[in-house]
Amino acid sequence: MDESKATPKAVVVSAILHIGIVGFLFLAVLPCSSYENFFNALHLPAWMNPIACAKPLELQGPIIEATLIGRTGSPPPKAVKAKPVPDSTPPPPTIPPPTPPPPVTPPVSQLPPPPKHVDVKDQERVVEDAAKQAEDARQLQEEKERQRQSELDAEAAKKKAEEKKKLDALFAKMDAASAQTRQLDNKAKQAKQQLEDLKNAQDDGQPDLPAADQRQTGNNSPNSNLADEYAAAIQNAVTPNWLRPDNIAALPCQVHIVQSPGGDVMSATVDSSCPYDDAGRRSVENAVLRTKTLPYKGFESVFQRNLTFTFRPQ
């Protein structure tokens, strides 16, 4: 179907429909007397009128003429005192209070009777399983604690080893610096002593001996043995290397010396009977260590690897 032809037709139909609605509404608002006048003017019978007005009431008697007064068309009625009407309503019946319901007793559930034959094996098995589970849990907890403690111990040992390594490295540096300082001091003292020895030396066939005021040559004894000469030679070798502390007593001090064949000093330890203080004892030990090599040639017969030497301050 052509849409261009259908559209005007729909518009016409819609317009007719709206006009019909408006006409119907217009007819609906007209009073019934208008319809009667219209049908009377056309001399149409009354039964064809769809809307007929209601006929007025027809009563016997003369016609009463009345004039309306006021807006309402009649005066207001006079006020009449109303007589009180006695209350004839019967009182409400007395309702007795409701009877409380009887207390409800909950039914008591009866427990099943105990078994006649208790299965002891099942109970023992349940107890054993519970004990085994508790033991397994305890062992697992102990294993975790041991593992944690071992980890803590390993970590502590690692930290301790690292700290010890750092301390060892620090002490090694300090020992190296101290050894270097001692070496420099020894070289300086040896150089100074050599200068003094060269200055005070005499060509008497005994080179590299201490000055005459420090040398022990004897005590005018008629007899002399090799051991005494050996002790005097050690005293003469150690004395130049001794740095005497202040306020030290002029008392002998025994020193235990360990030497190798040839007179090389291995160690020197002051005896506990030495009357010096700590500074004096260290000075004697350092003097023996600075000597390095004790007299050996000519004293082979009295040489002792472990020698107890009596140091006498000069």
Per DSSP, 264 falls in state B
What domains does the chain contain, in order, with CATH numbers? 227-311 (3.30.1150.10)
Q: Which region among 19-28, 125-134, 260-269 has the lowest average model confidence (pLDDT)?
A: 19-28
Please state the pTM of the whole predicted model: 0.33
Percent of the chain beyond pLDDT 90? 25
Q: Is the pLDDT of residue 203 over 50?
A: no
- Using DSSP bridges, classify how beta strands 265-270 and 306-311 pair: parallel, antiparallel or unpaired: unpaired
How do residues 50-98 score in pLDDT, each as one tens digit?
666 666 656 666 666 666 565 555 556 666 666 666 666 666 667 767 7
Residue 116 sits at φ, ψ, to 5 deg, of -65, -35
pLDDT of amino acid 236: 93
pLDDT at 87: 63
Q: Sorting pLDDT into bands at 50, 70 and 90, what band is 114?
A: low
pLDDT tens readout for residues 286-305? 999 999 999 999 899 999 99
What distance in Å separates the CA atoms of residue 305 and residue 308, rounded to the nearest whole number?
Answer: 10
Alpha-carbon dihedral sign for residues 207, 208, 212, 217: negative
Point out the least confidently predicted range of 56-60, 122-126, 168-172, 185-189.
56-60
pLDDT of 118 higher than 60: no
The pLDDT tens digits of the residues spanning 215-251 come to 444 544 444 588 889 999 999 999 999 998 888 888 8
Residue 61 has a pLDDT of 63
Mean pLDDT of the chain: 77
What would the two tokens of residue 77 be?
A: 């009625």
Q: What is the pLDDT of residue 102?
A: 75
Lowest mean pLDDT among 31-40, 66-75, 164-173, 178-187: 66-75
The reported pLDDT for the residue numbered 209 is: 44
User: Does the pLDDT at position 254 exceed 80?
Assistant: yes
**Residue 15 or 106, more confident:** 15
Segment 156-169, tens digit of pLDDT: 999 888 888 888 88
The pLDDT of residue 124 is above 60: yes
Where residue 252 falls among pLDDT bands split at 50, 70, 90? very high
Helix runs in the chain, H state only: 3-29, 32-41, 120-200, 226-238, 278-291
Alpha-carbon separation of residue 33 from 30, 49, 142, 158, 271 (angstroms): 8, 11, 115, 124, 162
